[in-house]
Amino acid sequence: NAGVTQTPKFRILKIGQSMTLQCTQDMNHNYMYWYRQDPGMGLKLIYYSVGAGITDKGEVPNGYNVSRSTTEDFPLRLELAAPSQTSVYFCASSYRFRTEAPIRGYTFGSGTRLTVV
């Protein structure tokens, strides 16, 4: 049982380039999320999805796009990369927005460390 898998783990982009961060989960979770983590700034929600074909903006969506064509996959697209997008990106999934025992919260991937130069 892999949980949430993110690829790539590391990437260096040049300013203006585009890329897609991949995220897939095998837990049949309907809810999926993209967060970015910057030092001292915590986890900021970029986009989320409550099911295939449904996405919504989070706190910091500018410069990003998402799609959710299947339950398993939730890719994050960066268009025209900028230095401000240098960050660690985490994908997560859950059964619902809030899950209590015995279902254990959000499951996060191991992250993608992105540097834009």
Q: How far is the CB of 15 from another protein (least distance, A)?
A: 26
Question: Binding residue for another protein (CB under 8 A) from 13, 36, 48, 76?
Answer: 48
CB of 77 or CB of 113, closer to another protein: 113
Question: Order of strands across the sheet with 64-66?
Answer: 4-7, 19-25, 76-78, 64-66
Which of these ranges, 15-23, 60-68, 72-80, 94-102, lies near another protein under the rule CB under 8 A?
94-102
Q: Does the protein bind another protein through residue 110 (CB under 8 A)?
A: yes
Q: Which is nearer to another protein, 17 or 43 (CB)?
A: 43
Which of these ranges, 20-28, 62-70, 77-85, 92-100, lies near another protein under the rule CB under 8 A? 92-100
Binding residues for another protein restricted to 1-20, rule: CB under 8 A: 4
Task: For 59-90, give the DSSP string.
Answer: S--TTEEE--SSSSB--EEE-S--GGG-EEEE
84 backbone φψ class: left, alpha, beta (φ>0; ψ -120 to 50): alpha
**Rounded distance, CA 68 to CA 109, Å?**
17
